[in-house]
Amino acid sequence: MSSRKGPPKHQNQYAWNPNAGHKKNETEVGGKLRPYSEVTGVCPRCREQIEWKRRYGKYKPLVEPAKCQKCGKRAVRQAYHNLCTACAKESGVCAKCSCRVDRIIGRDVEELEAERKALDEALKNARERDRRTLLRAMNKNKTDNAVKTPPPVGDRSREGDLFPATSIDEYAEANRDYDDANNDEYHICN
């Protein structure tokens, strides 16, 4: 072990990737097609710890539900949680560290299901035009979060990065003038 104290001598050039040499199956849990579920019922500190495990390849999802430490039922459905959602909500504590906190991250399953039922009921009773508008907006939000599209071909937002002139048109004008000047000299010499 080294005796050096303090920060590292050199900063890493790139972030460490836990699956660098391994091809990941996209249909496995944690892949693009089946992402991990949202971390809910925990305090912000515990959420950061679980997110760190996911980011650096240390996260191990539950295969079967675990026992709740308070009620003893097999009702713990998320990895690294010690209490089921009912006990944690009843006690007002974090489901992972069992600390009493004022802010719990995420919503529980009952709230999500109630919201989904209310949305389905609203869609069922809405006019066709309103229903399609709402569905289009929901699909747009899903695609915006999933994949960022590249800028269109005619996008001129990066003109200053590519050319020294303020616009492509000015750059073309400057090159035409330069070419005309060079062509005149070439014709004079011959």
Question: Which residues does the chain have with pLDDT short of 50?
Answer: 147, 162-163, 165, 185-187, 189-190
Each residue's pLDDT tens digit, 137-161: 878 876 655 545 555 555 555 555 5
pTM assigned to the model: 0.53
**Cα–Cα distance for residue pair 91/108, rounded to 1 Å:** 14
Each residue's pLDDT tens digit, 53-77: 988 889 998 989 999 999 999 999 9
Helix (H) / strand (E) containing 138: helix 128-146
**Cα–Cα distance for residue pair 59/78, rounded to 1 Å:** 11
Give residue 46's pLDDT. 93
The pLDDT > 70 percentage for the chain reads 72
**Cα–Cα distance for residue pair 125/136, rounded to 1 Å:** 17
Q: Spell out the domain ranges in the chain.
A: 21-106, 111-146
